[in-house]
A and B are shown apart, each in its own frame.
Chain A
Amino acid sequence: MKLIYSRPKSLKKAAFHYCPGCGHSVAHRVVCEVIDEMELQDKTIGIPPPGCSVFAYNYFDVDMAESAHGRGAAVATGIKRACPQIIVFTYQGDGDLAGIGTAETIHAANRGENITTIFINNAVYGMTGGQMAPTTLCGMKTTTTPYGRDHVIEGYPLRMSEMLAPLDGVAYIERVAISSPAGIRRMKKAVAKAFQTQIDNRGFSMVEILSPCPTNWKMTPAQSWKWVGEEMTQVFPLGVYKDVMEPKHAD
């Protein structure tokens, strides 16, 4: 009999605390699969954020350290500069990366820090109870936009991948979605590519993952996955935004 599915070695035997249908569990598993397949478990340090994934160190079986809210890219910079042989990834929510940590993120990307960022965009602040995030869609109701996000008052959803991709230090950026098995397969390829970019010393790499938060969206898991695929992708189009490894075609 051929074994085709098992727990990744770098995923600890612990039950996730995430809500049913939450994208974090899927993203954790996929990142662990990639770490296993690329044999990175013993040379990797992961930096989880404050956020629903603050306990990511209970699941990832690699060296990990907590970080201050939004500062993941700066912490990863310090690690990588001190020990370039270590593979470093940050794991960050959208409040963390696109709100409080925008400066750290942009500057690490612009310096071409040789780090990998796993960016979970669920359009809300999950851990603190579903407040508006910089990525909240216009019209979307959250606890701090009870009448729906109004761009006149709150501005527009921030598209981080589009914003970072033009920076010269950025080597690879792709946006994927947890909305279907095909989307998850695509995500795995993107995560592997991002780590490869780091291994090859190419510069900053990031995978933005559109990720369901059924609890704060007040949806069933199935509805939330569908919403990612049908609504979120309208505002946050999927695709590769930067890939310096891909030979450019003359047009």
Chain B
Amino acid sequence: MDGNSAIAEAAIRAGLRCYFGYPITPQNELTEYMALHLGRRKGCTFLQAESEVAAINMVYGASLVGARAMTSSSSPGISLKQEGISYLAACELPAVIVNMQRGGPGLGSISAAQSDYFQATRGGGHGDYRTIVLGPCSVQELADMTMRAFDLADKYKIPVMILGDGVLGQMKEPVDFKREAPDVTPTREGALMGARGRASRVVKTFTSNPSELEEINWSLFRRYQLIKKNETTWDTFMTDDARLVVVTYGIAARIAKGAIKNLRAEGLKVGLYRPVTLWPFPDEPLRELSKNVKQFLVFEMNMGQMIEDVQLALAGQGEVSFYGRPGGVIPTPDEVGRVMSRLYYQKGLRS
């Protein structure tokens, strides 16, 4: 199954009630899968909105009344959704947003890229907020993380972004869905429903009292601390004896893994550190790793974004190099392998 369809099927099995989308390559298979399968389910809605702005605000509406709601897009469309994501974050509303990144800036290209890392992990819209950002690297992970995304969103009342890319969306791999779709989609407790048998409720942030808003920000950040503590996830590959560790995520991690296997066969002690949650960024395990590893290579399909988180995490422990290809260029394992082995020899790690 292709990655985009796998996300859609996983979302339906996670109890998705409403999907709102707008066509953009390379994620159209997701929208089309929803059109085919979600709209016909009892009580569920598939709607092609008039714009990404409308779509994310429809998600906001559906989330207000406690439905599991989702939208998907690719880079230019995600820019348009930032307003709505900021409102979702502010009003503590769960939602799942998929970004199948493509090359930018501007209209850019429709080829896979990772250039929206900053936008995704720093909030993206206006205001002091975060969203949980998941960085899958296989079709199976797309499916698993979609289900996890809905659970996290509900648990922490926060928008969750799945940060994929054009290759992940289009590539086909076997996938095992770990849940069956529920007969009745869930409704979140505490949602707006009309004030039957209770006092009326207001969902809002706007206030003429800055200290009230300050408290809202504090309460959001206390929750973010909790998320950091409980939900930070990462993956390692052959790091035990590694002298050079590549730090990379998503499809780039897949490419790097191929390179690492090849270099290992040549006797080079190289390994992989892969953040799975991009926010919260897994900084402590990376620091831990730097006790034994002094040479890191950050590899991204952009001009260098996650490298800032790596540098912050390492705080001067170990040396950090960078290799990146922006604009939708997809590097090959051989290319990345050459970069790694050059660095390996230059830094005298062979001896």
Residues of chain A whose beta carbon lies under 8 Å from any beta carbon of chain B: 41-45, 47, 50, 54-55, 57, 60-68, 71, 74-83, 86-87, 103-104, 106-107
Instruction: Given the known inter-chain contacts A78-B20, A78-B57, please indicate yes or no for A62 contacting B200, CB distance below 8 A.
Output: yes
Q: Does B54 contact A65, Cβ atoms closer than 8 Å?
A: no
Residues of chain B whose beta carbon lies under 8 Å from any beta carbon of chain A: 17-18, 20, 45, 47, 49-51, 53-55, 57-67, 69, 83-84, 87, 91, 192-197, 200-206
Instruction: Given the known inter-chain contacts A45-B192, A62-B194, A76-B61, please indicate yes or no for A71 contacting B84, CB distance below 8 A.
Output: yes
Q: Does A65 contact B204, Cβ atoms closer than 8 Å?
A: yes
Q: Does B91 contact A44, Cβ atoms closer than 8 Å?
A: no
A83 nearest CB neighbor, chain B only: B65
A76 nearest CB neighbor, chain B only: B61
Give the shortest distance, in Å, between A112 (CB) and chain B (any CB): 12
Q: How far is the CA of A82 from the CA of B66 in the complex (A)?
A: 8
Closest 3 A-B residue pairs measured CB to CB?
A78-B61, A74-B57, A78-B58
B197 nearest CB neighbor, chain A only: A42
Instruction: Given the known inter-chain contacts A81-B47, A82-B18, A86-B65, please indicate yes or no for A74 contacting B194, CB distance below 8 A.
Output: no
Q: Does B65 contact A45, Cβ atoms closer than 8 Å?
A: yes
Q: Does B206 contact A66, Cβ atoms closer than 8 Å?
A: yes
Q: How far is the CA of A81 from the CA of B205 in the complex (A)?
A: 24
Which residues of B are found within 8 Å of A66, using beta-carbon distances? 87, 91, 203-206
Q: Does B45 contact A65, Cβ atoms closer than 8 Å?
A: no
* Apart from A68-B57, A81-B45, 7 more pairs, CB < 8 Å: A61-B200, A64-B203, A65-B203, A75-B58, A78-B69, A79-B62, A79-B64
Give the shortest distance, in Å, between B151 (CB) and chain A (any CB): 19
Q: B45, B54, B64, B87: which contacts A107 (Cβ < 8 A)?
A: B54
A78 nearest CB neighbor, chain B only: B61
Q: Does A42 contact B194, Cβ atoms closer than 8 Å?
A: yes
Instruction: Given the known inter-chain contacts A64-B203, A66-B203, A74-B53, please indicate yes or no for A43 contacting B60, CB distance below 8 A.
Output: no
Q: Does B61 contact A74, Cβ atoms closer than 8 Å?
A: yes
B199 nearest CB neighbor, chain A only: A61
Q: Does A41 contact B195, Cβ atoms closer than 8 Å?
A: yes
Q: Does A68 contact B202, Cβ atoms closer than 8 Å?
A: no
Q: How far is the CA of A174 from the CA of B259 in the complex (A)?
A: 67
Q: Does B196 contact A65, Cβ atoms closer than 8 Å?
A: no
Give the shortest distance, in Å, between B201 (CB) and chain A (any CB): 5
Q: How far is the CA of A125 from the CA of B119 in the complex (A)?
A: 32
Q: Does B62 contact A64, Cβ atoms closer than 8 Å?
A: no
Which residues of A are found within 8 Å of B61, using beta-carbon distances? 47, 74-82
**A-B CB contact pairs (8 Å), 12 listed:** A50-B206, A63-B194, A64-B204, A74-B57, A78-B20, A78-B58, A78-B60, A81-B18, A81-B45, A82-B18, A82-B66, A103-B50
